Amino acid sequence: MTIDDHLGQGRGAPRTGETRRMTGARSTSRDIERYADLFAQRTKVMRSSAMRDLMAITARPEVISLAGGLPDTSTFPPATFAAQMTRIAQESSAEALQYGPTEGFGETKSAIRMVMEAEGMSPDTADIIVTTGGQQALDLIAKTLVDPGDVVICEAPTYPGAVPVFCSYEAETHQVAMDDEGMRIDELEALCDWLDAAGRKPKFIYSVPSFQNPAGVTLSLERRRRLVELARRREVLVVEDNPYGLLRYEGDPVPPLYQLEGGDYVIYVGTLSKILSPGIRIGWAVAPPPVMEKIALGKQATDLCTSTLAQYFALEYFAEGGWRAYIESLCEIYRARRDAMLEALERHFPPQATWTRPGGGLFVWATLPAYIDTSDLLAKALRENVAFVPGAAAYVDGAEGTNSMRLNFSGSTEAEIREGVRRIGAVVSAQVELYETITAEHRLPQPAAPQPGADVVPLRPPHKEE
């Protein structure tokens, strides 16, 4: 009996021409039961990305979404887009509609090298593979390196979209705390020692060192040096994921790990999603040749090649020469939105809350009193037509970060940000008041604003050794 027959018996044969979709609507447990014996073991540990689940809800026009990680694509001039696509159609139609090489066109790799040079890196284009977004690069790296049960280390909190990747490949993921200078390297050393004593070695350390998603924190230069030194000494790979390095709103640039280390132990992941468009799905990885060969084999099996049309569009865009100016214009807009968010938090969040003050990127990470669960709070916020990402999404076990939230400031206007933060603040304040009434406990206000000169409010109290 085929699955179609089976479904036909179970719920009545589909009408002619009816398409059955298992993905759009949530499958019921009865649906899942029908297929249960067919699923691979690994599907048991697959996790949904919290952001993608939320996107369905936040697509409603009345919802102010501070949940997504969306760049503001309305800033890209439609006339430029139209002219570029027209030129492609007129001058390279057959080529742009054709398959391309798995590792990407040489011209795309040269454009990528140019983007990396803007942050001081100069990779060999032979070490670059063009991927379908940075997300695919992460997936391919995990596919290449991780067997079930292998150890992967990442930051706490980590990029929520990396969590489903590590889960899919059945990694044993350990998260290392951060403070206002990024990942705690002393804790990382201690974890590596502990693993070493058990005869285990991490397959890689995953980090978003600049304007981290979700925390907005930047790894300090001193810690970057220690991290690459640790990688070399222990012969462990570091995966540096850097979508936000060029979206800097203040301060001096800090060199990427790839530049500091020289490329032997750092696999670099980049993307055009936040500096041009996530819709074109162009990202890349830079890795030493033996690793790159395996990643390319993995990509062949996944999608043969990244969209040729998208690569042609990117080439047109870079050939025009205005890409640095476009990034500058994005920085202007996002700086003002970040400031609007920080002001609104100051104004509308209760004094018991703290939050980071990112010098770039797209996110603020807010932490509420421990008795508030932000997953529960989200349900209340959605009733007020506003959304954020609950902090638990940034933790592999989902048990930590439960009193934190990620707030995005790039995808909404300043007015929407102010109103969105006001609504969330009201829901938070109601929870705090309720708790204090019930427990009659009036906690001392914690400072909501950062210390003068500090980049961010610490996520955790600094360790005394540092």
Contact positions toward ligand PLP, by CB under 6 A? Answer: 69, 133-135, 159, 161, 208, 213, 241, 243, 271, 273, 278, 283
Least distance to ligand PLP, CB of residue 131, Å: 8
Based on CB atoms, which residue is closest to ligand PLP, 133 or 350?
Answer: 133
Task: Note whether 219 and 227 are within 8 A (CB).
Answer: yes
- Encode burial over 128-157: b for 16+ CB neighbours within 10 A, e otherwise: bbbbbbbbbbbbbbbbbbbeeebbbbbbbb
Least distance to ligand PLP, CB of residue 328, Å: 21
Distance of CA 440 to the CA centre of its chain: 40
Kindly state the tokens that stand for 162: 């990396």
Based on CB atoms, which residue is closest to ligand PLP, 269 or 432?
Answer: 269
Least distance to ligand PLP, CB of residue 6, Å: 36
Kindly state the tokens that stand for 40: 């691979």
Alpha-carbon distance of 364 to 387, in angstroms, equals: 14
Alpha-carbon distance of 100 to 307, in angstroms, equals: 8
CB atoms within 10 A of CB 317: 21
Least distance to ligand PLP, CB of residue 167, Å: 16
Based on CB atoms, which residue is closest to ligand PLP, 162 or 353?
Answer: 162
Least distance to ligand PLP, CB of residue 210, Å: 10
Based on CB atoms, which residue is closest to ligand PLP, 228 or 310?
Answer: 310
Sheet holding 282-286, edge to edge: 128-132, 282-286, 266-271, 237-241, 204-207, 151-156, 172-179, 182-183
User: What is the sign of the dihedral through the CA atoms of 288, 289, 294 and 299?
Assistant: positive
Based on CB atoms, which residue is closest to ligand PLP, 49 or 367?
Answer: 49
Based on CB atoms, which residue is closest to ligand PLP, 280 or 457?
Answer: 280
Alpha-carbon distance of 285 to 129, in angstroms, equals: 5
User: What is the sign of the dihedral through the CA atoms of 361, 366, 367 and 373?
Assistant: negative
Task: Note whether 448 and 354 are within 8 A (CB).
Answer: yes
Least distance to ligand PLP, CB of residue 35, Å: 28
Least distance to ligand PLP, CB of residue 214, Å: 8
Based on CB atoms, which residue is closest to ligand PLP, 55 or 449?
Answer: 55
Based on CB atoms, which residue is closest to ligand PLP, 208 or 257?
Answer: 208
Least distance to ligand PLP, CB of residue 220, Å: 19
Least distance to ligand PLP, CB of residue 212, Å: 7
Distance of CA 146 to the CA centre of its chain: 20
- Position of minimal CB gap to ligand PLP: 133
Residue type, 182: G
Tokens 């949940």: give the residue.
67
Based on CB atoms, which residue is closest to ligand PLP, 175 or 431?
Answer: 175
